[in-house]
Structure 1
Amino acid sequence: MKLTIIGLIALLAIPFATTSYAESTNTTADTTSSARHATISDALEQRVIEWRRDLHQHPELSNREFRTSGIVAEHLRALGLEVTTDIAHTGVVGILRGAHPGPTVALRADMDALPVKEMTDVPFASTATGQYRGREVPVMHACGHDLHVAMLMGAAEYLAGIQAELSGDIMFIFQPAEEGAPDGEEGGAELMLKEGLFDIAKPDAVFGIHVWSAGTTGHIGYRQGPLMASSDRFEIRVLGEQTHGSRPWGGIDPIVVASQIINNVQTIVSRQVNITKAPAVVSFGIVEGGVRNNIIPDEVYLEGTIRNFDMDIRSEIFEKLTTTAEMTAAASGAKAEVTIDEGYPVTVNSPDLVTRMMPTTERIIGRENLYEADLVTGAEDFSFYALEVPSMFVFLGITPPDQDPSAAPSNHSPYFYADEDSLRVGTELLINWALDYPAAR
């Protein structure tokens, strides 16, 4: 009830689509979508900024984006869109029907925040808290999803204002839980698809933007093919036989076996897979075992992550990890139980779609502000959409031009900062992708 009341107050306080089309758009733009550079008005840009600041001040954790999704749904309804709510818990989908026949284009924004205490000095800094793994924690939009939501709300407002000109339909996907669902829950893009997202409308292409502190404001990083890594979690339980530390021959030492497994697993990438095909990394992040200095325990627990850029190599690593752990343990009379939790797949941009939309992207930001991004070993659940339909995902720089992006606080940092000049760029990019796609495909 408290969340509902707060959400209602927020909806009343934030200005939605109350302005005219002439006020929301640049009426001097060429009306030929394949040649135009659709630009938003200063008034709409200011609303996007206000939405962003409000969302930043009221962040919500994964699958708990109640206020955010309420604001989004109310905005889309006010624009006259067909709105579906409560998909994958808090997801919102809006459909804008074009006046003329054509393809369906999907634009996606993620909504969730992180369990991070904000350390910036912006006047709209978050002081919010939420429940995470059974305890109250500070919450911050430390990955810029507030910008993503605000930009897509702005794009929806602009495009709804020119509905009579549109060829085909536009699907606005506001997705929860990109950062990962709470323990014991499903969420994110995978659950949206599982609950029938593409039954609402099956897009011919999906576009997404992620703000990027490692880039200068307004610069766009793109890449054909693999862009972001898959992310998978594994755990290994090494089962030995407890004995006194003074007589290790009386048992089976799982600590020694675990250390051998850690070393041997590193040879999977360095010696057993074709790294010229795609990079990969296997890292251990947790090693737990033992209760006393002179007792050899009966069990050691290992946990780690697998990242790579090729689905075949991904499967190969899964198989080799299991075999390596089991055989290493068996050589010492121990046992290894391996569990692999498949996470996000590789985020793969359609080369054809990227090529076709490059003229639009260059026109909006300028060729000099476009660069080919390096592979990123972080992961994104936008990848699930890319498994279903041709997709394009890019990085939008948000570090002011007078600062060094390489020294900027990274995404997920408590000092994460976004230059709000990037909001116009991202909003206009989403708009123009949607307008140009029918002619570009």
Structure 2
Amino acid sequence: MRPLILPALLAALLAPSASAQTPDAPSPDATTAAKAVQPQVVAWRRDLHQHPELGNQEVRTAKVIAEQLRKLGLQPRTGIAHTGVVAVLKGGRPGPRIAIRADMDALPVTEQTGLPFASKVTSQYRGQAVGVMHACGHDAHVAILLGVATALAAQKQELPGEVMFVFQPAEEGPPNPGETFGAKLMLDEGVFRDFKPDAVFGLHVWAGLPVGQVGVRSGPMLAAADEWSLTVNGKQTHGSRPWDGVDPITVAAQILLGTQSLIARQVNIAATPVVLTAGQFNAGVRFNIIPDEAKVVGTLRTFDAKVREDVITRFRRTAEDFAHASGATAKLEVASNAPATINDAALTTRVRPSLQRAVGADNVVEMPMVTVAEDFAQFANTVPGLYFFVGSTSAGIDPARAPINHSPQFLLDEQSLDVGTRAMLQVALDYLHGGG
């Protein structure tokens, strides 16, 4: 793919004046640079959208990223956490270190948008044939970060500090149960070992906001995600004679109802939101046989680590007590997929003016806590982190009614690519020029 912007031209657009080279001078404005790279960002996004790949299978995506980074004069490291890509840009002046992260993987969703570049890719996911779609917008995240990297590389000599570009696999989860999610695996493999940033930044396109707006909040922003599995063992018997056995289906249903009472009556949800949801209920093979076993799986979403532990303890006790009362047994297993994403308070205060500078003060809105989860939290638990949303729903469409992320009809307004590039670039420039 031929670059659309000559590096020299972009460098001229971004290069600070002589007075701007002092530590106290303002950083360059990102608007012109973001506009210059926008055609290429759109092209990258459309290409990636048409060729989505599931978690830990992002081979083509990683190749595209690495090739673009090499064109910028960078030396990308590949194969981190299976398919992750990392590159470090060293500025020509001393300054702080930052990391900017984008996730790369798509979802097992069959696209229904009707776009001319819609995905027609199919694959296997946990033993099932599935369509594959960038239904969460990770194609946009990759394109935006490549745009930011292009703009920053163009002013390398004038840039203070260093920037690590982190392209992460498997944010939506690894292909097989029990495997490690992408962010944690990258950290386990030492992505921050030799380069520990002073701050890490991430963004997410979000159908719940109109295009042009950016959403952020200090403190807890996205929930922790736990995947739980409840196994109830009873005693198989004929469906016409339930008294001869122990019905695990009824017991499991009682436990599920009990958990909803637990959330409503035992947890102070006025202080912090908690969601406990069952997504699958599997038991039996025939209409007139009460089976030995029932299995229920679901998710727990919390924003506070102590509340999380308390809810899990209460859930386990509820399950075991209901089972014991009926002569059954119950086993609850809980696996953490991601901790809560908590924006560092000092970093949020520092970065909010950069977001306002990029998109206008009126377009930076205060987000409520959102019960979706993000393993960006793993990075933000290692160094101070800041995560923000970029509105992706077109003008004239009510964001409350737009197909949300993960929908087969999720439709991103490409103006959000410019907004995201501009916002992240301004955040990076202001932080670097402002010193550590």
1:293 to 2:261 alignment: no
Distance, in Å, in 1 between the alignment partners of 2:353 and 2:131 is 42
Name the structure 2 match of 1:9: none
Name the structure 1 match of 2:102: 109
Letter in 2 for 1:26: L
1:158 to 2:151 alignment: yes
1:127 to 2:114 alignment: no
Residue-by-residue CA offset, 1:246-300 (whole Å, 9 max, x unaligned): 3333222222222221122223222222323311011122222233333322221
Displacement of 1:204: 0.8
Name the structure 1 match of 2:300: 306
Distance, in Å, in 2 between the alignment partners of 1:189 and 1:363 is 30
Letter in 1 for 2:306: D
1:259 to 2:246 alignment: no
Displacement of 1:359: 1.1
| Among candidates 83, 86, 97, match of residue 76 of structure 2 | 83
Displacement of 1:138: 1.9
Name the structure 2 match of 1:172: 165
* Range with greater deviation from structure 2 (293-302 or 28-37): 28-37
Distance, in Å, in 2 between the alignment partners of 1:306 and 1:150 is 32
Letter in 2 for 1:69: A
Distance, in Å, in 2 between the alignment partners of 1:29 and 1:51 is 28
Residue-by-residue CA offset, 1:149-175 (whole Å, 9 max, x unaligned): 111001101101111122211010001
Name the structure 1 match of 2:87: 94
1:404 to 2:427 alignment: no
Name the structure 1 match of 2:413: 419
What TM-score do the two structures reach when normalised by structure 1? 0.92
Q: After superposition, where does 1:189-208 map in structure 2 within 5 Å?
A: 189-208=183-202
| Among candidates 247, 256, 267, match of residue 273 of structure 1 | 267
Letter in 2 for 1:52: R
| Among candidates 31, 35, 38, match of residue 30 of structure 2 | 38
Distance, in Å, in 1 between the alignment partners of 2:319 and 2:35 is 59
SS of the counterpart of 2:381?
A: helix
1:20 to 2:7 alignment: yes
Query: Is this contact kept in 2: 1:399–1:419, CA < 8 A?
Result: yes
Distance, in Å, in 1 between the alignment partners of 2:287 and 2:108 is 35
* Range with greater deviation from structure 2 (281-290 or 385-394): 281-290
Displacement of 1:17: 7.9
Query: Is this contact kept in 1: 2:11–2:155, CA < 8 A?
Result: no
Distance, in Å, in 2 between the alignment partners of 1:304 and 1:25 is 53
* Range with greater deviation from structure 2 (48-57 or 123-132): 123-132
* Range with greater deviation from structure 2 (122-131 or 331-340): 122-131
Displacement of 1:36: 3.0
Distance, in Å, in 2 between the alignment partners of 1:436 and 1:346 is 26
Distance, in Å, in 2 between the alignment partners of 1:225 and 1:41 is 29
* Range with greater deviation from structure 2 (175-184 or 133-142): 133-142
Q: 1:327 to 1:138 in 2, by over 3 A?
A: same
Query: Is this contact kept in 1: 2:4–2:37, CA < 8 A?
Result: no
| Among candidates 230, 233, 244, match of residue 224 of structure 2 | 230
Name the structure 2 match of 1:146: 139
SS of the counterpart of 1:231?
A: strand
Name the structure 2 match of 1:326: 320
Name the structure 1 match of 2:60: 67
Q: Which runs of 5+ in 2 are unaligned?
A: none
Name the structure 2 match of 1:8: none
* Range with greater deviation from structure 2 (33-42 or 223-232): 33-42
Query: Is this contact kept in 2: 1:17–1:79, CA < 8 A?
Result: no
Distance, in Å, in 2 between the alignment partners of 1:42 and 1:260 is 57
| Among candidates 333, 336, 343, match of residue 337 of structure 2 | 343
* Range with greater deviation from structure 2 (395-404 or 216-225): 395-404
Distance, in Å, in 1 between the alignment partners of 2:52 and 2:250 is 45
Displacement of 1:126: 1.4
Distance, in Å, in 2 between the alignment partners of 1:235 and 1:122 is 38
Residue-by-residue CA offset, 1:175-217 (whole Å, 9 max, x unaligned): 1111111015434111111111111411111111100111111
Q: 1:249 to 1:310 in 2, by over 3 A?
A: same
Letter in 2 for 1:147: A
Distance, in Å, in 2 between the alignment partners of 1:42 and 1:362 is 17
SS of the counterpart of 1:190?
A: helix
Name the structure 2 match of 1:390: 384
Distance, in Å, in 2 between the alignment partners of 1:148 and 1:110 is 7
Name the structure 2 match of 1:436: 430
Distance, in Å, in 2 between the alignment partners of 1:246 and 1:408 is 48
- State, as a whole percentage, how many aligned pairs show the same letter: 49
Distance, in Å, in 1 between the alignment partners of 2:421 and 2:245 is 64
SS of the counterpart of 1:47?
A: helix
Displacement of 1:225: 0.6
Distance, in Å, in 1 between the alignment partners of 2:123 and 2:284 is 34
Distance, in Å, in 2 between the alignment partners of 1:322 and 1:331 is 14
* Range with greater deviation from structure 2 (40-49 or 196-205): 40-49
* Range with greater deviation from structure 2 (415-424 or 132-141): 132-141
Query: Is this contact kept in 1: 2:147–2:421, CA < 8 A?
Result: yes
Distance, in Å, in 2 between the alignment partners of 1:434 and 1:221 is 17
SS of the counterpart of 1:26?
A: helix
Displacement of 1:426: 1.0
Query: Is this contact kept in 2: 1:89–1:187, CA < 8 A?
Result: no
* Range with greater deviation from structure 2 (132-141 or 189-198): 132-141
Letter in 1 for 2:383: V
Distance, in Å, in 2 between the alignment partners of 1:285 and 1:127 is 27
Query: Is this contact kept in 2: 1:29–1:38, CA < 8 A?
Result: no
Displacement of 1:383: 1.0
1:377 to 2:371 alignment: yes
